[in-house]
Amino acid sequence: MLVNLESLFDMDELKTLDEEMCLGIATSELRIPTPGINQIGVKDPGKIIRKYNNSDKISHLTSFQQRMFMKLYDRAFLPAQSVYIRNHINNYSEKWIEDKCEWHKNSIHFPKFIKWLNNSNVFESIGRIEIFMVDMFVPIPIHEDRSAAQLPDDPKEFIWININGDKPFWCIDDDGNKVYLGRVAWFDDEILHGSDPINWMAYSFRIDGIFTEEFRKQAKAIKPQIPYSHGAKSVNPLWGNNWLEKMKLV
């Protein structure tokens, strides 16, 4: 379900990137991502977004402006913001393919991070790099990412990093319990996951690509195209009708 990779990294070295990451976020172009798909316990923002497809009312606005309008007018639950360092050129499903992604103009704000990444020997090739920020007192709703059935070629080779260890990000196991990630991890992004609210703004980032053979061996459980069997991919009726309330997810 998830693999803690913290022991494979020099966390003191990663901590030296914190100031640059925060300055880079502050000076970058922001976007408002959707919180995955099949959100549980909240009104699906995807339906609101689709309502405005080809709408003359907001078609002249940027994507960020459109989603800000939806947050205000339609009460769309879009709780996070993000910054691209690299992004997919055309299709989300190609976010792990180096040639199908490109450096975003934001990347000029992250030279130390890019140098660290190039020296890390984690990736043979690098696709999307995205930083996710969540404001204070705001949860990320329990949800899943796009499934393997929709993205059959995605090898799911990525690392998730929370330098400060202060973002309570979790996955749901087969028994309906939260399992929290450490500061560096891989997780099966098809399973239900989200994060708890805290009293300050926190960030994490995800790097997609293809692992080097050496890192793949070190990470052990991570292999391309393996069957993922641990972790809940849907709500189990055995958890009871009030499981969401008991877990304080909303």
For 68-85, the pLDDT digits (tens) are: 999 999 999 999 999 999
Q: Are strands 123-134 and 80-88 parallel, antiparallel or unpaired?
A: antiparallel
Does 47 fall in a domain?
A: no
Does 215 fall in a domain?
A: yes
Does 61 fall in a domain?
A: no
Q: How far apart are CA 181 and CA 157, in angstroms?
A: 16
Does 27 fall in a domain?
A: yes
For 138-207, the three-class secondary structure string (H helix, E strand, C coil) is CCEEEEECCCCCCCCCCCCCEEEECCCCCCCEEEECCCCCEEECCCEEEECCCCCEEECCCCCCEEEEEE
pLDDT of residue 100: 96
Q: How many domains does the chain have?
A: 1
Does 139 fall in a domain?
A: yes
How many alpha carbons fall within 13 Å on the CB side of residue 200? 6
Cβ(192)–Cβ(232) below 8 Å:
yes
Q: List beta partners, residue 194.
A: 170
Contacts of 13 (CB under 8 A, 6+ apart): 116
Does 238 fall in a domain?
A: yes
Does 8 fall in a domain?
A: yes
pLDDT of residue 225: 46
Does 236 fall in a domain?
A: yes
Domain CATH code at residue 211: 2.60.120
Cβ(40)–Cβ(235) below 8 Å:
yes
Is the pTM value of this prediction over 0.85? yes
Range of the domain at 125: 2-42+77-246
The stretches in the chain having pLDDT less than 50 are: 225-226, 250
